[in-house]
């Protein structure tokens, strides 16, 4: 049986790169990559990206990226599943190697989100909603706010409870040189921050900016290999009970045993999504997850909240960070972990990918 490994990884700090276009972001990530690893035998390039057509006026970006990194004749495809594009790209690449079709794939995640004002960016993000909501001007923030309000009522918690997530993520990000928001925040700062869509405040929202991250997948094991034990996918619409059935399905499909030496990385697009994901995935009991963040190695990079939200490239950051943690080369907060659970998702948890990794 063919095994699939992540053999190397690279990323650039998430930031607002006014001097770089979408291709420059990839080139910067690839420069780091090329300097360290052999990338001469790539069979395929898979690009994870969600919004290039609308935000960058750029289509057919996969072959263009292949040209710009000096691989003009390596076949390249783009995989798009909104902010879960990275998970979908990994599933695609993993399946192709597992089938024996190819041996080595470069997965490139890239998103360029800082060129326009936020109202234009969030209009683009809102295309992920159903057509009634999109055409009536509703934003993903408001849907998240309704989920958060339902959670607050059900479990009798307030904004202080959700502030625990932002405080923890910013604390983790202070140690991460690749993080976008490398500063600590306290309870007062979080709970008095700007209201976006009540009760969602500024510090409840993942900070979108520009980013590019790359992993090299291969069937060959090397000294820096991390094995992909399993990848599963699930999709189901969020419920206002509130719950994320897709993440619950992942838990059942993945069957991964979580221990204190398991690193966890989740798609914390909103603090409510962090709580629901930690609970639906079985890490914590419902209604209590954000009281217990010191008991688990979760989002050591600072998460979408503080490391930054790279849109469709997010899962590539998650995978690169998990790879670096497991081989001991992560430059931010380190944890002594044996295995990793990565959950890639869109911002409202409709489609989810669960990835189990170990050395």
Q: Is 14 helix (H, G, I), strand (E, B) or coil?
A: coil
Minimum distance, C-beta of residue 134 to other proteins, in the bound complex (Å): 9
Query: In 3-state terms, what secondary structure has residue 76?
Result: strand
Q: Is there binding between residue 142 and other proteins (CB under 8 A)?
A: yes
Q: How many residues bind other proteins (CB under 8 A)?
A: 33
Residue 57 binds other proteins (CB under 8 A): no
Note whether 156 binds other proteins by CB under 8 A: no
**Window 73 to 112, contacts with other proteins (CB under 8 A):** none
If one asks whether residue 138 binds other proteins (CB under 8 A), the answer comes out as: yes
119 part of the interface to other proteins, by CB under 8 A: yes
| Residue 120 found at the interface with other proteins (CB under 8 A) | yes
Query: Nearest distance from residue 246's CB to other proteins, in Å?
Result: 14
Phi-psi region of 57 (alpha: psi -120 to 50; beta: other; left: phi over 0): left
Spatial contact of 189 and 202, defined as CB atoms under 8 Å apart? no
The DSSP code for 256 is P
Give me the residues paired with residue 216 across strands.
8, 106
Stretch that binds other proteins, among 67-75, 130-138, 246-254, 327-335 (CB under 8 A): 130-138
Of 179-238, binders to other proteins (CB under 8 A) are 194-200, 237
Candidates 132-140, 172-180, 219-227, 335-343; binding stretch for other proteins (CB under 8 A):
132-140
- By CB under 8 A, name the one of 141, 208, 248, 323 that touches other proteins: 141
Token reading at 209: 């900016």
Helix axes 85-98, 314-327, angle to 10 degrees: 60
Which residue has tokens 């890239």? 110
Inter-residue contact 84 to 346 (CB < 8 Å): yes
- 158 interacts with other proteins by CB under 8 A: no
> Which tokens belong to 178?
């690749």
Q: Are 358 and 338 contacting, i.e. CB atoms less than 8 angstroms apart? A: yes
Selected from 9, 49, 128, 139, the binder of other proteins by CB under 8 A is: 139
Count CB neighbours of 18 within 10 A.
Answer: 8
Closer Cβ to other proteins, 67 or 198, answer by number: 198
Q: Residue written as tokens 């998460």? A: 303
Tokens 């069957």 correspond to 255
Name the minimum Å distance from CB 110 to other proteins. 23
- 181 contact partners, CB below 8 Å, separation of at least 6: 170, 173, 207, 302, 305, 306, 307, 308
When binding is defined by CB under 8 A, the residue of 107, 126, 214, 342 that contacts other proteins is 126
Residue 28 has which token pair?
């910067």
CB of residue 57 vs other proteins: minimum separation in angstroms? Answer: 15
CB of residue 27 to other proteins, shortest distance in Å: 30
Token pair for 280 = 């639906």
Q: How far is the CB of 173 from other proteins (least distance, A)?
A: 23
- Please state the closest distance from residue 297 (CB atom) to other proteins, in A: 33
Which member of 68, 98, 149, 230 binds other proteins (CB under 8 A)?
A: 149
Query: Rule CB under 8 A: is residue 18 a binding residue for other proteins?
Result: no
Give min distance, CB of 241 to other proteins, in A: 10
Whole-number minimum distance, CB 119 to other proteins, in Å? 5
For CA atoms 66, 312, 318, 246, give the dihedral sign. negative
118 binds other proteins (CB under 8 A): yes
Contacts 24+ apart (CB under 8 A), 128-132: 128/82, 128/83, 128/346, 128/347, 128/348
Phi, psi values for residue 292, rounded to 5°:
-120, 25
One residue of 19, 130, 223, 294 binding other proteins per CB under 8 A = 130
Query: Where does this chain bind other proteins (CB under 8 A)?
Result: 117-120, 122-123, 126, 130-133, 135-139, 141-143, 145-146, 149-150, 153, 194-200, 237, 240
């Amino acid at each position: 049986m063919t095994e699939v490994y992540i053999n190397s990884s690279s990323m650039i700090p998430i930031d607002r790169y006014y001097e770089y276009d979408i291709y420059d972001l990839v080139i910067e990530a690839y420069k780091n990559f090329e300097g360290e690893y052999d990338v001469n035998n790539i069979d395929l390039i898979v690009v994870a990206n969600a919004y290039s057509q609308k935000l960058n006026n750029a289509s057919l970006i996969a072959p263009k990226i292949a040209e710009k990194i000096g691989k003009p004749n390596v076949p390249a495809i783009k995989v798009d599943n909104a902010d879960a594009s990275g998970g979908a790209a990994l599933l695609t690449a993993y399946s192709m190697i597992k089938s024996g079709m190819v041996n080595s794939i470069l997965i490139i995640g890239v998103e360029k989100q800082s060129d326009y004002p936020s109202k234009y960016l969030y209009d683009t993000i809102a295309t992920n909603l159903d057509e009634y909501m999109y055409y009536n001007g509703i934003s993903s923030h408001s849907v998240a706010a309704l989920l958060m309000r339902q959670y607050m009522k059900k479990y009798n918690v307030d904004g202080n409870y959700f502030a625990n997530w932002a405080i923890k993520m910013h604390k983790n990000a202070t140690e991460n040189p690749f993080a976008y928001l490398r500063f600590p925040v306290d309870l007062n700062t979080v709970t008095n921050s700007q209201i976006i869509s009540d009760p969602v405040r500024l510090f409840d929202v993942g900070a979108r900016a520009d980013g590019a991250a790359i992993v090299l997948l291969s069937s060959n094991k090397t000294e820096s290999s991390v094995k992909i034990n399993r990848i599963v996918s699930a999709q189901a619409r969020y419920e206002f009970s509130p719950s994320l059935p897709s993440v619950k399905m992942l838990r059942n499909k993945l069957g991964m045993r979580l221990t204190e030496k398991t690193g966890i990385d989740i798609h914390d697009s909103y603090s409510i999504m962090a709580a629901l994901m930690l609970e639906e995935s079985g890490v914590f009991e419902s209604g209590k997850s954000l009281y217990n963040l010191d008991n688990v190695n979760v989002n050591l990079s600072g998460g979408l909240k503080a490391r930054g939200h790279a849109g469709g490239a997010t899962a590539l950051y998650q995978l690169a960070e998990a790879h670096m943690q497991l081989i001991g080369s992560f430059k931010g907060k380190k944890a002594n972990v044996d295995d990793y659970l990565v959950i890639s998702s869109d911002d409202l948890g409709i489609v989810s990918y669960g990835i189990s990794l170990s050395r």
